[in-house]
Amino acid sequence: MKTAASTILLTQAPEFQKALLNWFQARARDLPWRKTTDPYKIWLSEVILQQTRVDQATPYYLRMIERFPTVSELAAASLDDLLIVWEGLGYYSRARNLHKAAREIVERFQGHVPNNREDLLGLPGIGPYTASAILSIAFAQPYGVLDGNVIRVLSRLLEFPDDVRKSASRNYLQSVANDLVAVSAPGEFNESMMELGATICTPKNPQCEACPVHSFCEGTKNDPEAFPRTVKKLPIPHHDIAVGVLCNSQGELFAQRRPENGLLGGLWEFPGGKRESGESIEDACRRELKEELGIDVEVGELLTTIPQVYSHFKITLYAFRCDILSGSPESSRDLPIAWIAADRLEEYAFPKANRKLIEKLVELDQI
C-alpha cells in the first residue's frame, strides 16, 4: 500500500534516478572502497561503516585491507589479532562476527563472498542493509538499501508522517527504496542516496539549494528538519566505576580479558566494577577486586577520573593505585589474566576508557 507521495515519486523514478546519478558522478567523494569491486572489500567496508562516520571508518578500512587482504587471511588470523586492529572503532561484536563469517565463507563457500541474499543473511553480522549493499555494489543486483541517510532522504521526499523508528515505518521505506533503485546501476544508485544524505540532505542545515533532486521534494524544502520524525529518547543512566591499578615488582600491570560476548567482548581491561548505592568508590574498588580476583588490597591514591559515554549508559571511571595485602590474583570467572609490561600494552586490545587510563599513567610517570 503506497501513499500518494510515494506513488508520485515512483512515477518519476527514471527522472529522479538520472538527476541523482548525474550529480553523484560529478560530485562523489573519492573514498577508498569505491576503488574496488572485490566483494570481500565491499563487505569489509560496509561492516566498518555500520553506525560509523566515513572519517572515522577510513583509516580502519585501510589498515584492515592491508593487514587482511583476503577472506582467507582474515579467517586464518586469531580474534585477538583482529581486535588489535579494531581497537577504538567500537561495536566490537562487528569484529567477532566478521571473524566468524570469514571462517564460514572459507569452509562453506570456498573463500568466496556469497552472491545471493539468503546465504549473505545467514552470515553473522550481515543484516538487511549490509546484504543489500553487497549485492547491489559488488554484484549489481537491484536491492535498495535503507540506512540512516536513506531514511532521512526518503522521509523528507515523502513528508513521511510516522515515527521512523517503528518497524512498520522501516518496512514501508524499505519497499520504497527497493522500488526506486535504478536497475541499470543499483550500487551506484544506493551509494548516491547515501552520499546525498551524508553531504547535502544532512540532519541539520541541509543544503536544499544544492540538492540535485529538490524539485522532487517540493513539500519539505521549507522545513526539511521536521523530518524524519522520531520520538524522544529517555536520558541514559550513569554509573561510577572503580578500577584497581595493580603493579608487581617487575613493573608489570595486571589486566584481564572480558568475556567474548556482551559489552566490549574480548577486550582486555583493568579490574574493577560498579559502585553500588550507599557504597564509597574506594569500598567498591576493594569489593570488586576481592570478588573478581580473590585478593585483599589497600586502596591507595586516586590516579585519575575518566568520563566515558557508551551507547545506552555513561560512566565515570575512578582509577586507584592498589597494593595487594594478601592473596594472588586469580579470575573467579575463569577469564584470561595477564601481568603486562608497560612497553607491551599496545599488544593488547583495550576499550577507549582503559586506553585513556594507560595514557594518563604514562603522563603521571606511574609506568
Query: Is 190 in contact with 119 (CB distance < 8 Å)?
Result: no
Nearest-5° angle of CA 46, CA 51, CA 53?
Answer: 85
Number of residues that bind DNA (CB under 7 A): 62
Task: Give the separation between CA 328 and CA 75, rounded to whole angstroms.
Answer: 37
Catalytic residue among 46, 191, 195, 288: 46
**Does 287 help bind DNA (rule: CB under 7 A)?**
no
The x, y and z cell numbers of residue 231, run together, are: 520520538
Task: Give the separation between CA 174 and CA 177, rounded to whole angstroms.
Answer: 5
Our answer to whether residue 269 is catalytic in this structure is no
Closest CA to 227 of 259, 203, 193, 199: 203
Q: Which stretch binds DNA (CB under 7 A): 2-10, 84-92, 276-284, 323-331?
A: 84-92
If residue 269 lies in a helix (H) or strand (E), which one and from where to where?
A: strand 268-269
String of DSSP letters for 316-341: EEEEEEEEEEE-----TT---EEEE-
Query: Is 158 in contact with 8 (CB distance < 8 Å)?
Result: no
**Does 222 help bind DNA (rule: CB under 7 A)?**
no
The x, y and z cell numbers of residue 164, run together, are: 521512523
Nearest distance from C-beta of residue 260 to DNA, angstroms: 11
**In the range 54-83, which residues lie near DNA by CB under 7 A?**
54-56
Interface residue with DNA, options 24, 40, 68, 129 (CB under 7 A): 129
Task: Give the separation between CA 41 and CA 239, rounded to whole angstroms.
Answer: 39
Binding mask 171-210 for DNA (x = CB under 7 A): --------------------x--xx-xx----xxx-----
Nearest distance from C-beta of residue 120 to DNA, angstroms: 9
Query: Is 244 in contact with 289 (CB distance < 8 Å)?
Result: yes
The x, y and z cell numbers of residue 354, run together, are: 582503559
Interface residue with DNA, options 21, 147, 155, 206 (CB under 7 A): 147
**Does 35 help bind DNA (rule: CB under 7 A)?**
no
**Does 116 help bind DNA (rule: CB under 7 A)?**
no
**Does 117 help bind DNA (rule: CB under 7 A)?**
no
Interface residue with DNA, options 183, 210, 226, 309 (CB under 7 A): 309
Catalytic residue list = 46
Residues in contact with DNA by CB under 7 A are 31, 33-34, 45-46, 49-56, 88-93, 97, 124-131, 133, 147-149, 151-152, 166-168, 191, 194-195, 197-198, 203-205, 228, 230, 232-233, 235, 262-265, 308-312, 351-353
